Amino acid sequence: MSDGAQTGEETEESGGTGGSIGPSVAAGGRELTPGVAMLATAVAVISIVVGALLAGVSLTGHVFGAWKSPGPLSTGLVGAAMLGVSPGLLMIGRARVWEEVRTLVLPLAIVLVGLLTVTLLNAGTLQAAQGGSLVLVMFSLGWIAVLGVLGVFAVVCVAWQYLRPAVPLQGRTAPLPGWTKPLLAVLGSAWFGIGAGLLAVPRFWAGFVPWSLNRPDAQALGVWAVALGVGVLGALAEDDLSRIRPALLALPGAAIGVAVVLGVRAADVDWTSGPGLSLITMVGGLLLAGVTGRRLASRRPALRP
């Protein structure tokens, strides 16, 4: 058998077997470091437990979180987002190169570092500072400790990843359809824009959120909105379905989790307002983007794990 035939077979096998989530390992890129896979797995496990706790308590109408909040909805949405992205994070361990997972890992680093920063900036509102119940005080202290460790670990892992040698990529194997790109650009910009506003000027931009929330609520939701926007815009920049498979699992997961909490706590939301209608569109956009992307990827045999 010729060398060319052997190379073709090896490329096909690396893309279709062995547990990889895509064929890009045969086309160059940076080898994924063990630290990134460990970080994603650890965050996924913690997110399942903590996210289920925050979202579950919120659904009962009670307020449970690291800081004082005027209502249960904001912390419930944070928990729902944590729970929803967990399946995508667990998928990262199957990747072989950085390019297959960076559209999810970079937003993950934004969430970890961003939530830690928001928590420290609003330390006066923490349950430990306000003197809440013992359970809430311990939860708030644990929240800071875990975010601190994971935030530092995320920065180190991403920096270490970019220090690894890179083999030039040999082009895109599954470009996004042209009709999806304007929609992704609008969706990603919308999430990033509202998130940046909530972070930078929370008092003003909180008026564009159709329920009651305070400064830490607004900024925590802003962190998640920025991360979602970066993820969507990152997928647009990658322009390759084989490089965004974990993100395609995380987006609809987050959208479904958020939709469930919003549906159960619908009475807390002003749905008739402009922000309420915009929220429906933006959450629906995440769900549609994830489902459509996975459907397009499933039609390409070379992209199947």
pLDDT digits (tens, 9 = 90+) for 43-80: 999 999 999 999 999 999 999 999 999 999 999 999 99
pLDDT higher at 21 or 198? 198
- Reported as a single tens digit per residue, the pLDDT across 91-128 is 999 998 999 999 999 999 999 999 999 999 999 999 99
Written as one string, the DSSP assignment of the chain is: --HHHHHHHHHHHHHHSTT-S-GGGGG-EEBPPHHHHHHHHHHHHHHHHHHHHHHHHHHTT---SSB--SSSHHHHHHHHHHHHHHHHHHHGGG--BGGGTHHHHHHHHHHHHHHHHHHHHTGGGBHHHHT--HHHHHHHHHHHHHHHHHHHHHHHHHHHHHHS-EEPP---SSPPPTTHHHHHHHHHHHHHHHHHHHHHSHHHHGGGSSS---HHHHHHHHHHHHHHHHHHHHHHHH--GGG-HHHHHHHHHHHHHHHHHHHHTGGGS-TTSHHHHHHHHHHHHHHHHHHHHHHHHHT-GGG--
Question: Which pLDDT value is given to residue 237?
Answer: 93
The mean pLDDT of the chain is 88
Tell me the percentage of the chain whose pLDDT exceeds 90. Answer: 76
133-165: burial string, b at 16+ Cβ within 10 Å, e else: eeebbebbeebbebbeebbebbeebbeebeeee
Q: Is the pLDDT of residue 11 over 90?
A: no
pLDDT band at residue 21 using 50, 70 and 90 as cut-offs: low
pLDDT band at residue 16 using 50, 70 and 90 as cut-offs: very low
Which of 215-224, 242-251, 286-295 is predicted most confidently? 215-224
Give me the mean pLDDT over the 199-208 stretch: 92
Give me the mean pLDDT over the 138-162 stretch: 96
Interior angle at CA 88, CA 170 and CA 221, nearest 5: 115
Q: Is the pLDDT of residue 252 over 60?
A: yes
pLDDT band at residue 302 using 50, 70 and 90 as cut-offs: very low
C-alpha to C-alpha distance for 242 and 64, rounded to whole angstroms: 39
Q: Is the pLDDT of residue 9 over 50?
A: no
Q: Is the pLDDT of residue 10 over 60?
A: no
pLDDT band at residue 131 using 50, 70 and 90 as cut-offs: confident
Question: Which pLDDT value is given to residue 170?
Answer: 75
Question: Which pLDDT value is given to residue 28?
Answer: 74
C-alpha to C-alpha distance for 204 and 164, rounded to whole angstroms: 42
Question: Which pLDDT value is given to residue 260?
Answer: 97
C-alpha to C-alpha distance for 15 and 27, rounded to whole angstroms: 10
